Amino acid sequence: MNHQGTRKIETGRLVLRQFSIDDADAMYLNWAGDPEVTRFLSWPTHESVKASRAVIEEWQNNAILLDDYNWCITCRETGEPIGSLGVVRIDEAAEAVHVGYCIGRKYWNQGLTTEALSAVIGFFFEEVGVNRVEALHAVENPASGRVMKKCGMTKEGVLREYNVNNHGLCDAVIYSILCREWQKAAG
């Protein structure tokens, strides 16, 4: 794989970029501090802007690593940070990346998460040279699975008691897309 780190990606309505410490307030207010947004996630709801700032500082420290990927999803028109998308795990031998994402509640059901994930999938296949992009969602959060499906990912099955989220131990649905599938769909 040809790791490149978090590079700026632009879509019709979004700009995905590295996080800045200036994003901490928006991160906390728009998604990380909202228990409804973080309900099915594997990291706890941020209790304050300080928690969001600490996460961003850690991501900034790791940003020099070429195999570190954490995008701030921003609205192209306003520049407002509305969510995050990043790599949770990399399997070099299998040339695979496991991604995770979340977006603020007021941006749900507008196709923005699908737009961001589709762009990142394309980046990984075209620029990094991965063979597989995969993602999980809690069984109780089918909306996340619909995003994956819209991005061309295939549901592979349910991993029983595989993950821990803010409700405890949970079953997780795994989706993936292979490079050859993406290329075929892209024409």
Structure tokens, 163: 């993950």
Q: What is the pLDDT of residue 166?
A: 82
Residue 37: band (very low, low, confident or very high) from pLDDT cuts 50, 70, 90: very high
Q: State the Cα–Cα distance between residues 122 and 128, nearest whole angstrom.
A: 9
Structure tokens, 153: 């990912």
The full set of domains in the chain, from first to last, is 9-186 (3.40.630.30)
Mean pLDDT calculated for residue range 68-75: 97
Does the pLDDT value for residue 177 go beyond 90?
Answer: yes
Kindly report, residue by residue over 80-115, the tens digit of the pLDDT: 999 999 999 999 999 999 999 999 999 999 999 999
Q: What is the pLDDT of residue 100?
A: 96
Residue 41: band (very low, low, confident or very high) from pLDDT cuts 50, 70, 90: confident
Q: What is the pLDDT of residue 113?
A: 97
Q: What is the pLDDT of residue 153?
A: 98
Q: What is the pTM of this model?
A: 0.94
Kindly report, residue by residue over 118-136, the tens digit of the pLDDT: 999 999 999 999 999 999 9
- Starting from the edge strand earliest in sequence, which strands make up the sheet with 154-165, in order? 9-10, 14-17, 70-75, 81-91, 96-103, 132-138, 168-178, 154-165
DSSP 45-88: PPSSHHHHHHHHHHHHHHTTSTT--EEEEEETTT--EEEEEEEE
Output 151 or 166, whichever has higher pLDDT: 151
Structure tokens, 35: 């228990």
Residues 6+ apart with CB under 8 A from 43: none
Does the pLDDT value for residue 42 go beyond 90?
Answer: no
